[in-house]
Structure 1
Amino acid sequence: MATTLTWLGHAAFRLDTAGGTRVYVDPFLTGNPSCPDREREPERCDLVVVTHGHDDHVGDAVSIGQRFSCPVVAQVELRGWLSGRGLPEDMGQALNKGGTERFGDVRTTLTDANHSSSTDENGARVYLGESCGVVLRLDDGPTVYFAGDTNVFGDMALVKRLYAPDVAVLPIGDHFTMGPEEAAVAAELVGAPRVVPSHYGTFPILTGTPEALRPLLPEGVELLAHSPGETVSL
Protein backbone atom coordinates (compact mmCIF):
# COMPACT_ATOMS: atom_id res chain seq x y z
CA MET A 1 0.00 0.00 0.00
CA ALA A 2 1.43 3.34 -1.05
CA THR A 3 1.42 6.55 0.95
CA THR A 4 -1.10 8.96 -0.55
CA LEU A 5 -1.83 12.66 -0.15
CA THR A 6 -5.24 14.17 -0.86
CA TRP A 7 -5.68 17.93 -1.18
CA LEU A 8 -8.94 19.05 0.39
CA GLY A 9 -8.67 22.64 -0.80
CA HIS A 10 -6.93 25.64 0.79
CA ALA A 11 -4.31 24.24 3.23
CA ALA A 12 -6.24 21.13 4.26
CA PHE A 13 -4.76 17.71 3.46
CA ARG A 14 -5.41 14.06 4.20
CA LEU A 15 -2.36 11.81 4.38
CA ASP A 16 -2.78 8.02 4.32
CA THR A 17 0.30 6.05 5.28
CA ALA A 18 1.34 2.68 3.91
CA GLY A 19 0.54 1.26 7.34
CA GLY A 20 -3.05 2.50 7.18
CA THR A 21 -2.81 5.57 9.42
CA ARG A 22 -4.99 8.44 8.31
CA VAL A 23 -3.79 11.96 9.16
CA TYR A 24 -5.63 15.23 8.63
CA VAL A 25 -3.49 18.38 8.52
CA ASP A 26 -5.24 21.75 9.05
CA PRO A 27 -8.70 20.21 8.49
CA PHE A 28 -10.63 23.25 7.25
CA LEU A 29 -13.56 21.33 5.75
CA THR A 30 -16.76 23.04 6.92
CA GLY A 31 -16.92 26.46 5.29
CA ASN A 32 -14.06 25.75 2.90
CA PRO A 33 -15.38 26.70 -0.56
CA SER A 34 -12.71 24.57 -2.25
CA CYS A 35 -13.40 21.37 -0.32
CA PRO A 36 -15.42 18.85 -2.34
CA ASP A 37 -18.73 17.94 -0.70
CA ARG A 38 -17.76 14.27 -0.51
CA GLU A 39 -14.77 15.19 1.66
CA ARG A 40 -16.56 17.31 4.26
CA GLU A 41 -17.41 14.34 6.52
CA PRO A 42 -14.33 12.19 7.26
CA GLU A 43 -14.90 8.44 7.27
CA ARG A 44 -12.16 7.89 9.83
CA CYS A 45 -9.15 9.62 11.33
CA ASP A 46 -6.19 8.49 13.43
CA LEU A 47 -4.37 11.81 13.89
CA VAL A 48 -5.05 15.52 13.39
CA VAL A 49 -2.28 18.14 13.19
CA VAL A 50 -3.01 21.87 13.33
CA THR A 51 -0.24 24.29 12.39
CA HIS A 52 -1.71 27.47 13.93
CA GLY A 53 -4.82 29.05 15.37
CA HIS A 54 -6.45 30.80 12.42
CA ASP A 55 -9.95 29.57 11.66
CA ASP A 56 -9.04 28.42 8.15
CA HIS A 57 -6.57 25.96 9.68
CA VAL A 58 -8.17 24.87 12.95
CA GLY A 59 -11.30 24.16 10.94
CA ASP A 60 -12.99 20.96 12.11
CA ALA A 61 -10.15 19.76 14.35
CA VAL A 62 -12.28 19.63 17.49
CA SER A 63 -15.22 17.81 15.93
CA ILE A 64 -12.94 15.28 14.20
CA GLY A 65 -10.99 14.67 17.40
CA GLN A 66 -14.20 14.14 19.35
CA ARG A 67 -15.83 11.93 16.74
CA PHE A 68 -12.90 9.56 16.32
CA SER A 69 -11.25 9.91 19.75
CA CYS A 70 -7.95 10.55 17.98
CA PRO A 71 -4.98 12.71 18.98
CA VAL A 72 -5.09 16.35 17.92
CA VAL A 73 -1.56 17.77 17.87
CA ALA A 74 -0.89 21.49 18.05
CA GLN A 75 1.54 23.96 19.56
CA VAL A 76 1.11 24.09 23.33
CA GLU A 77 -0.87 27.33 23.68
CA LEU A 78 -3.17 26.42 20.82
CA ARG A 79 -3.64 22.89 22.13
CA GLY A 80 -4.61 24.27 25.53
CA TRP A 81 -7.20 26.50 23.88
CA LEU A 82 -8.58 23.53 21.94
CA SER A 83 -8.95 21.58 25.17
CA GLY A 84 -11.27 24.34 26.34
CA ARG A 85 -13.40 23.76 23.26
CA GLY A 86 -14.12 20.11 23.89
CA LEU A 87 -10.89 18.18 23.43
CA PRO A 88 -9.36 16.36 26.39
CA GLU A 89 -6.31 17.88 28.01
CA ASP A 90 -3.28 15.86 26.94
CA MET A 91 0.25 17.23 27.13
CA GLY A 92 1.38 14.39 24.87
CA GLN A 93 -0.48 16.18 22.08
CA ALA A 94 0.74 19.68 23.03
CA LEU A 95 4.12 20.02 21.33
CA ASN A 96 6.35 22.99 20.80
CA LYS A 97 8.85 23.77 18.08
CA GLY A 98 11.52 21.10 17.82
CA GLY A 99 9.42 18.64 19.80
CA THR A 100 8.67 15.19 18.42
CA GLU A 101 6.04 12.61 19.39
CA ARG A 102 5.20 9.29 17.79
CA PHE A 103 1.60 8.49 16.92
CA GLY A 104 1.42 5.00 15.45
CA ASP A 105 3.73 4.86 12.44
CA VAL A 106 4.10 8.66 12.24
CA ARG A 107 6.79 10.69 14.01
CA THR A 108 5.41 14.21 14.28
CA THR A 109 7.75 17.20 14.74
CA LEU A 110 6.78 20.87 14.94
CA THR A 111 9.06 23.32 13.17
CA ASP A 112 9.32 27.07 12.93
CA ALA A 113 7.13 29.18 10.65
CA ASN A 114 6.85 32.95 10.22
CA HIS A 115 3.20 33.88 10.63
CA SER A 116 0.66 34.80 13.30
CA SER A 117 -1.73 32.64 15.32
CA SER A 118 -4.91 33.99 16.86
CA THR A 119 -8.68 33.98 16.80
CA ASP A 120 -11.53 36.36 17.57
CA GLU A 121 -13.65 35.73 20.67
CA ASN A 122 -16.42 38.08 21.72
CA GLY A 123 -14.92 40.89 19.70
CA ALA A 124 -11.43 40.47 21.15
CA ARG A 125 -8.30 39.05 19.55
CA VAL A 126 -7.04 35.98 21.41
CA TYR A 127 -3.39 34.95 21.13
CA LEU A 128 -2.94 31.26 20.35
CA GLY A 129 0.81 30.71 20.52
CA GLU A 130 3.17 30.74 17.57
CA SER A 131 2.57 29.49 14.07
CA CYS A 132 4.34 26.25 13.17
CA GLY A 133 5.23 23.96 10.34
CA VAL A 134 5.21 20.20 10.81
CA VAL A 135 7.37 17.31 9.62
CA LEU A 136 5.75 13.89 9.39
CA ARG A 137 8.26 11.04 9.22
CA LEU A 138 6.58 7.80 8.22
CA ASP A 139 8.00 4.43 9.22
CA ASP A 140 7.33 2.88 5.81
CA GLY A 141 7.06 5.92 3.63
CA PRO A 142 8.36 9.36 2.78
CA THR A 143 9.08 12.30 5.05
CA VAL A 144 6.60 15.10 4.38
CA TYR A 145 7.14 18.71 5.43
CA PHE A 146 4.07 20.95 5.73
CA ALA A 147 5.43 24.49 5.96
CA GLY A 148 2.14 25.90 7.26
CA ASP A 149 1.38 29.55 6.67
CA THR A 150 4.71 31.31 6.32
CA ASN A 151 7.03 33.44 4.27
CA VAL A 152 10.38 32.09 3.19
CA PHE A 153 13.10 32.26 5.85
CA GLY A 154 16.70 31.11 5.90
CA ASP A 155 16.28 28.47 8.59
CA MET A 156 14.24 26.38 6.17
CA ALA A 157 17.71 25.06 5.33
CA LEU A 158 17.68 23.42 8.76
CA VAL A 159 14.58 21.45 7.75
CA LYS A 160 16.66 20.02 4.91
CA ARG A 161 19.64 19.32 7.19
CA LEU A 162 17.64 17.73 10.00
CA TYR A 163 14.82 15.92 8.23
CA ALA A 164 15.65 15.74 4.49
CA PRO A 165 12.00 15.76 3.44
CA ASP A 166 10.96 13.87 0.33
CA VAL A 167 7.93 16.13 -0.17
CA ALA A 168 7.45 19.79 0.80
CA VAL A 169 3.96 21.28 1.02
CA LEU A 170 4.44 25.03 0.52
CA PRO A 171 1.91 27.88 0.54
CA ILE A 172 1.89 29.93 -2.66
CA GLY A 173 -1.22 32.13 -2.48
CA ASP A 174 0.53 35.39 -1.55
CA HIS A 175 -1.00 38.19 0.57
CA PHE A 176 -1.27 36.14 3.81
CA THR A 177 1.66 33.82 3.01
CA MET A 178 4.53 33.72 0.57
CA GLY A 179 3.74 33.80 -3.11
CA PRO A 180 5.36 31.82 -5.94
CA GLU A 181 8.65 33.74 -5.95
CA GLU A 182 9.33 33.14 -2.27
CA ALA A 183 7.98 29.59 -2.48
CA ALA A 184 10.55 28.78 -5.17
CA VAL A 185 13.33 29.93 -2.85
CA ALA A 186 11.76 27.92 -0.03
CA ALA A 187 11.86 24.86 -2.27
CA GLU A 188 15.56 25.46 -2.87
CA LEU A 189 16.27 25.78 0.86
CA VAL A 190 14.21 22.75 1.87
CA GLY A 191 15.66 20.63 -0.90
CA ALA A 192 12.73 18.25 -1.32
CA PRO A 193 12.57 16.64 -4.77
CA ARG A 194 8.79 17.09 -4.88
CA VAL A 195 6.72 20.17 -3.98
CA VAL A 196 2.98 20.37 -3.38
CA PRO A 197 1.48 23.89 -3.52
CA SER A 198 -1.15 24.91 -0.96
CA HIS A 199 -3.10 27.88 0.40
CA TYR A 200 -4.17 29.18 -3.00
CA GLY A 201 -7.28 29.38 -5.14
CA THR A 202 -9.69 29.50 -2.20
CA PHE A 203 -10.45 33.22 -2.21
CA PRO A 204 -9.82 35.95 -4.83
CA ILE A 205 -7.24 37.66 -2.63
CA LEU A 206 -4.96 34.59 -2.95
CA THR A 207 -3.49 35.26 -6.38
CA GLY A 208 -0.53 32.86 -6.50
CA THR A 209 -0.82 29.86 -8.81
CA PRO A 210 1.09 26.65 -9.55
CA GLU A 211 1.60 27.92 -13.10
CA ALA A 212 3.51 30.92 -11.73
CA LEU A 213 5.57 28.70 -9.42
CA ARG A 214 6.52 25.99 -11.91
CA PRO A 215 9.13 27.89 -13.99
CA LEU A 216 10.73 29.30 -10.84
CA LEU A 217 11.43 25.98 -9.12
CA PRO A 218 15.00 24.63 -8.94
CA GLU A 219 15.89 22.32 -11.78
CA GLY A 220 14.74 18.76 -11.19
CA VAL A 221 12.08 19.59 -8.59
CA GLU A 222 8.73 18.01 -9.46
CA LEU A 223 5.60 20.07 -8.86
CA LEU A 224 2.64 17.97 -7.72
CA ALA A 225 -0.25 20.35 -8.33
CA HIS A 226 -3.55 18.55 -8.05
CA SER A 227 -7.17 19.60 -7.84
CA PRO A 228 -9.16 19.66 -4.60
CA GLY A 229 -10.25 16.12 -3.82
CA GLU A 230 -7.54 14.57 -5.98
CA THR A 231 -5.18 12.01 -4.47
CA VAL A 232 -1.54 11.52 -5.45
CA SER A 233 0.83 8.73 -4.48
CA LEU A 234 3.96 9.73 -2.64
Structure 2
Amino acid sequence: MGLALAALMLTAVIFGLHSVSNAQAGNTQLLWYGQSAFKLTTPSGKVLLIDPWLENPLNPNGKADLAALKQVDFILVTHGHSDHVGNAVEIAKKTNAKLVSTYDLGQAMVAFSGYPKNLVPFETQGNFGGELTLVNGEVKVAFIPAVHSSSVASDGSPAVFAGNPGGFLISVKNGPVIYHTGDTDLFSDMALIPQFRQVSVMLACIGDQFTMGPQRAAEAVKLVNPTTVIPMHYGVFNLPGTPQAFSQALRQQGVKSQFRTMKVGEVLKL
Protein backbone atom coordinates (compact mmCIF):
# COMPACT_ATOMS: atom_id res chain seq x y z
CA MET A 1 0.00 0.00 0.00
CA GLY A 2 2.85 2.38 0.83
CA LEU A 3 4.57 1.87 -2.52
CA ALA A 4 1.28 2.22 -4.37
CA LEU A 5 0.48 5.45 -2.54
CA ALA A 6 3.96 6.82 -3.23
CA ALA A 7 3.62 5.98 -6.91
CA LEU A 8 0.23 7.65 -7.03
CA MET A 9 1.58 10.78 -5.35
CA LEU A 10 4.55 10.90 -7.74
CA THR A 11 2.21 10.62 -10.71
CA ALA A 12 0.10 13.46 -9.32
CA VAL A 13 3.16 15.66 -8.85
CA ILE A 14 4.40 14.98 -12.37
CA PHE A 15 0.95 15.64 -13.80
CA GLY A 16 0.68 18.83 -11.78
CA LEU A 17 4.05 20.10 -12.97
CA HIS A 18 3.11 19.22 -16.53
CA SER A 19 -0.15 21.13 -16.17
CA VAL A 20 1.60 24.18 -14.75
CA SER A 21 4.17 24.06 -17.54
CA ASN A 22 1.44 23.84 -20.16
CA ALA A 23 -0.47 26.72 -18.57
CA GLN A 24 2.63 28.90 -18.59
CA ALA A 25 3.53 27.87 -22.12
CA GLY A 26 -0.04 28.54 -23.26
CA ASN A 27 0.06 32.29 -22.64
CA THR A 28 0.10 34.69 -25.54
CA GLN A 29 0.96 38.17 -24.30
CA LEU A 30 -0.06 41.48 -25.83
CA LEU A 31 1.53 44.79 -24.81
CA TRP A 32 0.34 48.20 -26.02
CA TYR A 33 2.86 51.00 -26.57
CA GLY A 34 0.24 53.56 -27.61
CA GLN A 35 -1.17 54.57 -31.02
CA SER A 36 -1.16 51.36 -33.13
CA ALA A 37 2.02 49.86 -31.69
CA PHE A 38 1.82 46.43 -30.04
CA LYS A 39 4.21 43.71 -28.90
CA LEU A 40 2.94 40.16 -29.28
CA THR A 41 4.84 37.41 -27.45
CA THR A 42 3.95 33.85 -28.42
CA PRO A 43 3.81 30.84 -26.06
CA SER A 44 7.25 29.75 -27.29
CA GLY A 45 8.71 33.19 -26.56
CA LYS A 46 8.87 34.60 -30.09
CA VAL A 47 8.34 38.35 -30.31
CA LEU A 48 6.35 40.15 -33.00
CA LEU A 49 6.05 43.93 -33.08
CA ILE A 50 3.16 45.55 -34.94
CA ASP A 51 3.44 49.13 -36.25
CA PRO A 52 6.25 49.80 -33.77
CA TRP A 53 6.13 53.55 -33.11
CA LEU A 54 7.38 53.11 -29.57
CA GLU A 55 8.39 56.76 -29.15
CA ASN A 56 4.90 58.10 -29.72
CA PRO A 57 3.55 60.98 -27.59
CA LEU A 58 1.37 58.67 -25.48
CA ASN A 59 4.34 56.63 -24.29
CA PRO A 60 6.50 58.45 -21.73
CA ASN A 61 8.81 55.41 -21.57
CA GLY A 62 9.38 55.22 -25.32
CA LYS A 63 13.15 55.62 -25.25
CA ALA A 64 13.52 53.14 -22.40
CA ASP A 65 11.19 50.66 -24.13
CA LEU A 66 13.25 50.96 -27.29
CA ALA A 67 16.51 50.43 -25.44
CA ALA A 68 15.08 47.44 -23.57
CA LEU A 69 14.24 45.49 -26.71
CA LYS A 70 16.77 42.69 -26.96
CA GLN A 71 14.80 40.13 -28.97
CA VAL A 72 12.41 40.86 -31.81
CA ASP A 73 11.80 38.14 -34.37
CA PHE A 74 9.40 39.88 -36.76
CA ILE A 75 8.20 43.41 -37.35
CA LEU A 76 4.75 43.72 -38.93
CA VAL A 77 3.94 47.03 -40.62
CA THR A 78 0.44 47.69 -41.91
CA HIS A 79 1.28 50.65 -44.14
CA GLY A 80 3.87 53.27 -44.82
CA HIS A 81 3.02 56.29 -42.68
CA SER A 82 5.53 57.43 -40.08
CA ASP A 83 3.24 56.73 -37.10
CA HIS A 84 3.16 53.07 -38.17
CA VAL A 85 6.64 52.50 -39.59
CA GLY A 86 7.79 54.27 -36.43
CA ASN A 87 11.02 52.82 -35.03
CA ALA A 88 10.97 49.75 -37.27
CA VAL A 89 14.29 50.40 -39.02
CA GLU A 90 16.19 51.12 -35.81
CA ILE A 91 14.75 48.01 -34.16
CA ALA A 92 15.54 45.83 -37.18
CA LYS A 93 19.17 46.94 -37.25
CA LYS A 94 19.44 46.23 -33.54
CA THR A 95 17.67 42.85 -33.41
CA ASN A 96 17.77 41.48 -36.99
CA ALA A 97 13.98 41.32 -37.02
CA LYS A 98 12.52 40.35 -40.36
CA LEU A 99 9.91 42.59 -41.95
CA VAL A 100 6.40 41.24 -42.51
CA SER A 101 4.56 43.46 -44.96
CA THR A 102 3.08 43.61 -48.41
CA TYR A 103 5.70 43.21 -51.10
CA ASP A 104 5.34 46.80 -52.32
CA LEU A 105 5.71 48.25 -48.84
CA GLY A 106 8.74 46.04 -48.18
CA GLN A 107 10.48 47.26 -51.33
CA ALA A 108 9.68 50.89 -50.48
CA MET A 109 10.99 50.55 -46.94
CA VAL A 110 14.26 49.12 -48.23
CA ALA A 111 14.65 51.81 -50.89
CA PHE A 112 13.49 54.87 -48.96
CA SER A 113 13.43 54.09 -45.23
CA GLY A 114 16.69 52.15 -44.88
CA TYR A 115 15.28 48.82 -43.73
CA PRO A 116 18.09 46.25 -44.23
CA LYS A 117 17.43 44.39 -47.48
CA ASN A 118 18.59 41.05 -46.07
CA LEU A 119 15.82 41.30 -43.44
CA VAL A 120 13.08 41.57 -46.06
CA PRO A 121 13.12 38.03 -47.47
CA PHE A 122 10.57 36.70 -49.93
CA GLU A 123 9.07 34.36 -47.33
CA THR A 124 7.92 37.25 -45.08
CA GLN A 125 6.34 39.28 -47.87
CA GLY A 126 2.80 38.85 -49.14
CA ASN A 127 -0.37 40.51 -50.34
CA PHE A 128 -4.09 40.62 -49.65
CA GLY A 129 -5.79 37.25 -49.65
CA GLY A 130 -2.50 35.53 -48.83
CA GLU A 131 -1.24 34.14 -45.55
CA LEU A 132 2.24 33.54 -44.15
CA THR A 133 3.25 30.70 -41.84
CA LEU A 134 5.93 31.78 -39.35
CA VAL A 135 7.81 30.33 -36.37
CA ASN A 136 7.55 26.72 -37.56
CA GLY A 137 3.79 26.97 -37.81
CA GLU A 138 3.17 28.62 -34.43
CA VAL A 139 1.93 31.82 -36.06
CA LYS A 140 -0.02 32.54 -39.23
CA VAL A 141 -0.37 36.07 -40.59
CA ALA A 142 -3.07 36.83 -43.16
CA PHE A 143 -3.09 40.08 -45.12
CA ILE A 144 -6.38 42.00 -44.79
CA PRO A 145 -7.22 45.04 -46.96
CA ALA A 146 -7.78 48.50 -45.50
CA VAL A 147 -9.33 51.69 -46.85
CA HIS A 148 -6.62 54.29 -46.33
CA SER A 149 -3.36 55.37 -48.02
CA SER A 150 0.33 54.47 -47.73
CA SER A 151 3.59 56.30 -48.38
CA VAL A 152 7.15 56.47 -47.10
CA ALA A 153 9.79 59.16 -47.32
CA SER A 154 13.52 59.47 -46.83
CA ASP A 155 14.91 62.49 -45.00
CA GLY A 156 13.95 65.72 -46.75
CA SER A 157 12.44 64.00 -49.78
CA PRO A 158 8.81 63.94 -50.88
CA ALA A 159 6.81 60.90 -49.82
CA VAL A 160 6.50 58.09 -52.35
CA PHE A 161 3.69 55.57 -52.83
CA ALA A 162 4.28 52.41 -50.79
CA GLY A 163 1.62 50.03 -52.04
CA ASN A 164 -1.86 49.59 -50.67
CA PRO A 165 -2.51 49.84 -46.91
CA GLY A 166 -3.74 46.86 -44.91
CA GLY A 167 -4.28 45.12 -41.62
CA PHE A 168 -3.25 41.74 -40.24
CA LEU A 169 -5.12 38.69 -39.00
CA ILE A 170 -2.65 36.99 -36.67
CA SER A 171 -3.47 33.44 -35.58
CA VAL A 172 -1.45 31.83 -32.78
CA LYS A 173 -1.52 28.02 -32.77
CA ASN A 174 -3.89 26.78 -30.05
CA GLY A 175 -4.28 30.41 -29.05
CA PRO A 176 -5.94 33.69 -29.93
CA VAL A 177 -6.77 35.15 -33.34
CA ILE A 178 -5.97 38.87 -33.37
CA TYR A 179 -7.23 41.29 -36.02
CA HIS A 180 -5.17 44.49 -36.19
CA THR A 181 -7.11 46.80 -38.49
CA GLY A 182 -4.25 49.13 -39.34
CA ASP A 183 -5.63 52.51 -40.38
CA THR A 184 -8.92 52.04 -42.18
CA ASP A 185 -12.45 53.15 -42.78
CA LEU A 186 -15.36 50.80 -42.32
CA PHE A 187 -15.87 48.49 -45.32
CA SER A 188 -18.49 45.80 -45.79
CA ASP A 189 -16.02 42.98 -46.60
CA MET A 190 -15.00 42.98 -42.94
CA ALA A 191 -18.00 40.69 -42.55
CA LEU A 192 -16.08 37.99 -44.45
CA ILE A 193 -13.29 37.77 -41.86
CA PRO A 194 -15.17 35.58 -39.33
CA GLN A 195 -16.15 33.18 -42.11
CA PHE A 196 -12.51 32.06 -42.17
CA ARG A 197 -11.37 32.62 -38.54
CA GLN A 198 -13.28 33.60 -35.45
CA VAL A 199 -11.53 36.70 -34.10
CA SER A 200 -10.61 36.62 -30.41
CA VAL A 201 -9.34 40.20 -30.17
CA MET A 202 -9.96 43.06 -32.59
CA LEU A 203 -7.58 46.02 -32.32
CA ALA A 204 -9.71 48.75 -33.88
CA CYS A 205 -8.62 52.23 -34.93
CA ILE A 206 -11.11 54.83 -33.65
CA GLY A 207 -9.35 58.20 -34.01
CA ASP A 208 -11.52 59.73 -36.75
CA GLN A 209 -10.30 62.39 -39.23
CA PHE A 210 -7.74 60.01 -40.82
CA THR A 211 -9.50 56.72 -40.01
CA MET A 212 -12.95 55.56 -38.98
CA GLY A 213 -14.22 57.23 -35.85
CA PRO A 214 -16.12 55.65 -32.96
CA GLN A 215 -19.48 55.28 -34.76
CA ARG A 216 -18.08 53.66 -37.88
CA ALA A 217 -15.64 51.59 -35.81
CA ALA A 218 -18.58 50.22 -33.82
CA GLU A 219 -20.23 49.14 -37.06
CA ALA A 220 -16.94 47.45 -38.07
CA VAL A 221 -16.94 45.52 -34.79
CA LYS A 222 -20.48 44.40 -35.48
CA LEU A 223 -19.35 42.98 -38.84
CA VAL A 224 -16.28 41.19 -37.45
CA ASN A 225 -17.98 40.03 -34.23
CA PRO A 226 -14.82 39.48 -32.15
CA THR A 227 -14.90 38.14 -28.61
CA THR A 228 -13.14 41.30 -27.38
CA VAL A 229 -12.48 44.67 -28.99
CA ILE A 230 -9.70 47.04 -27.91
CA PRO A 231 -9.53 50.60 -29.29
CA MET A 232 -6.28 52.00 -30.67
CA HIS A 233 -5.04 54.92 -32.79
CA TYR A 234 -6.49 57.70 -30.65
CA GLY A 235 -5.20 60.44 -28.37
CA VAL A 236 -2.40 61.51 -30.75
CA PHE A 237 -2.46 64.45 -33.22
CA ASN A 238 -5.58 65.83 -31.47
CA LEU A 239 -7.76 63.20 -33.13
CA PRO A 240 -11.37 63.56 -31.92
CA GLY A 241 -12.26 59.88 -31.41
CA THR A 242 -12.23 58.63 -27.81
CA PRO A 243 -12.71 55.26 -26.10
CA GLN A 244 -15.69 56.70 -24.23
CA ALA A 245 -17.47 57.61 -27.47
CA PHE A 246 -16.55 54.22 -28.91
CA SER A 247 -17.95 52.37 -25.90
CA GLN A 248 -21.18 54.36 -26.16
CA ALA A 249 -21.46 53.63 -29.89
CA LEU A 250 -20.99 49.91 -29.27
CA ARG A 251 -23.81 49.93 -26.72
CA GLN A 252 -26.09 51.96 -28.99
CA GLN A 253 -25.53 49.53 -31.85
CA GLY A 254 -26.11 46.49 -29.67
CA VAL A 255 -22.66 45.03 -30.21
CA LYS A 256 -22.13 41.95 -28.04
CA SER A 257 -18.31 41.94 -28.09
CA GLN A 258 -16.55 42.67 -24.82
CA PHE A 259 -15.14 46.20 -24.78
CA ARG A 260 -11.76 46.70 -23.14
CA THR A 261 -9.29 49.56 -23.07
CA MET A 262 -5.57 49.12 -22.51
CA LYS A 263 -3.21 51.43 -20.72
CA VAL A 264 0.11 52.25 -22.36
CA GLY A 265 2.60 49.64 -21.16
CA GLU A 266 -0.11 47.22 -20.04
CA VAL A 267 0.30 43.52 -20.84
CA LEU A 268 -2.68 41.25 -21.46
CA LYS A 269 -2.39 37.49 -21.23
CA LEU A 270 -4.57 35.96 -23.90
Q: TM-score, normalised by structure 1?
A: 0.94
Q: Does 1:97 align with 2:121?
A: no
Question: Residue 21 of structure 2 aligns with which residue?
Answer: none
User: Which residue in the other structure is 1:233 paired with?
Assistant: 269
Q: Distance in 2 between matches of 1:62 and 1:178?
A: 28
Residue 100 of structure 1, CA deviation: 1.1
CA contact (8 A) 1:47 1:103 kept: no
SS in 1 for 2:212: coil
State whether structure 2 residue 142 is matched by structure 1 residue 109. yes
Residue 155 in 1 paired to residue 189 in 2?
yes
User: C-alpha separation between the residues in 2 aligned to 1:124 and 1:67?
Assistant: 27
* Residue pairs, 1:77-96, within 5 angstroms: 77-84=104-111, 85-87=114-116, 88=118, 89-96=120-127
Check the 8 A contact 1:53/1:117 in 2, yes or no. Answer: yes
Report what 1:211 is aligned to: 244
Note if contact 1:73-1:94 (Cα within 8 Å) is conserved in structure 2. yes
Do 1:8 and 1:36's aligned partners in 2 also have CA atoms closer than 8 Å?
Answer: no
> Equivalent residues in 2 for 1:31-180 (5 A)?
32-37=56-61, 38-41=64-67, 42-84=69-111, 85-87=114-116, 88=118, 89-104=120-135, 105-121=138-154, 122-180=156-214
Match of 2:229 among 195, 206, 222: 195
Tell which deviates more after alignment, 195-204 or 65-74: 65-74
Tell me the C-alpha RMSD between the 2 structures: 1.4
Whether the aligned pair in 1 keeps the contact of 2:38 and 2:52 (CA below 8 Å) is yes
Q: Distance in 2 between matches of 1:173 and 1:86?
A: 28
Structure 2: 5+ residue stretches without partners: 1-23
Residues of 1 paired with 2:72 and 2:162: CA distance?
24
Which of the pair has more CA radius of gyration? 2
Q: CA deviation at 1:165?
A: 1.0
- Looking at structure 1, the residues matched to 259 and 244 of structure 2 have their Cα atoms a distance apart, in angstroms, of 10
Residue 48 of structure 1 aligns to a residue whose secondary structure is strand
| Larger RCO, structure (CA 8 Å, separation 6 or more) | 1
TM-fit CA distance, 1:219: 3.9
Instruction: Please tell me whether the aligned partners of residues 218 and 255 of structure 2 are also in contact (alpha carbons under 8 angstroms).
Output: no
Deviates more, 1:117-126 or 1:151-160: 117-126
Q: Distance in 2 between matches of 1:25 and 1:86?
A: 15
Match of 2:50 in 1: 25
AA at the equivalent of 1:223:
F
Count of residue correspondences:
232
Q: CA deviation at 1:167?
A: 0.7
